[in-house]
Amino acid sequence: MTLLLEGKRAFISGGTRGIGAALCEVFAREGADVAFNYHSSDSLAEEVKKKIEAHGRRALSYKISVTDRYGMKHIAREIKDSWGAINVLVNNAAVNKPDNFATTTDKSWDWVVDTNVNSLFAVTKPFYKQMIRQKEGNILNITSVGAIRSLPTSVHYATSKAAMIGFTKCLSREAANFGITVNAIAAGIFDTDLGQTLPARLLQMHDFWVSKGRLGKPSELAEFAAFMTSDRNSFMNGEIIIVDGGAVT
């Protein structure tokens, strides 16, 4: 049996840490060439590139904000000129801050919403237009169970992740006309830097609340994401799949 992503060209936003780094490595292992962006750490970007290349795949990294619309258009053209058009896109980059709504500042609200919501437009559109021309492609958005359930997480984060669900469902209808699928994973709490920004009381409750009794490993989500973006997952569209270790609802 061939690899899940044999011959695919993927772009993963936020590719140097946590789930993003795991996505890059697993996608490369499954046969994809992987490009990714990152915010600050050149050393982490080099580590991820080496892991991709260790699987015999090509790697490209870009130090650029996911909210930079002009920059993302440039990156999409550059990748297309080097490899051909991207046919797998994962919107993974996100930020959070442990705020109470009553004391959330304008700056905090704008930072979270701009990064988590406006990036969907900046990152997706240039690659989506390439997919339209190819008449094929797969888009996966990493949202959160905090967008679905009443959890003690920050309101701005839950709001931004709920927006991603609407983005997924609505775009999936339009995209299907061009042979493109759009789905999302609603992630539970994973052992990442972002996961550790959650309130301490929530993390303390987590082992009792989740039937698996632990935080998720980034690689566990990445393994499922590789299947979701593969041609073997051929009849799912506009779905939000919860991967949370069996949380009590």
CA distances from 39 to 63, 96, 146, 188, 249 (A): 6, 15, 24, 23, 35
Q: Is pLDDT of 72 > 90?
A: yes
Instruction: Pick the more confident residue, 209 or 227.
Output: 227
Give dist(CA 59, CA 35) in Å, integer. 5
pLDDT tier, 98 (very low <50, low <70, confident <90, very high otherwise) = confident
pLDDT value at position 199? 63
3-state secondary structure of 37: strand
- Amino acid sitting at position 80: K
How many Cβ atoms are within 10 Å of 166's Cβ, its own excluded? 11
Structural domains of the chain in order of their starting residue, each with its CATH number: 9-243 (3.40.50.720)
pLDDT tier, 1 (very low <50, low <70, confident <90, very high otherwise) = low
Q: What is the mean pLDDT of the chain?
A: 93
pLDDT value at position 183? 98
pLDDT value at position 248? 63
**What pairs with residue 217 in β-bridges?**
none
Instruction: Pick the more confident residue, 203 or 85.
Output: 85
- Amino acid sitting at position 170: C
> Closest Cα to residue 227, out of 35, 32, 14?
32
Lookup: tokens for 232: 């073997």
pLDDT digits (tens, 9 = 90+) for 23-52: 999 999 999 999 999 999 999 999 999 999
pLDDT tier, 197 (very low <50, low <70, confident <90, very high otherwise) = low
Give dist(CA 183, CA 228) in Å, integer. 8
List 38, 62, 128, 157, catalytic entry: 157
pLDDT value at position 143? 97
Catalytic, 157? Answer: yes
Burial of 106 (0-12, 13-18, 19+ CB in 10 A): exposed
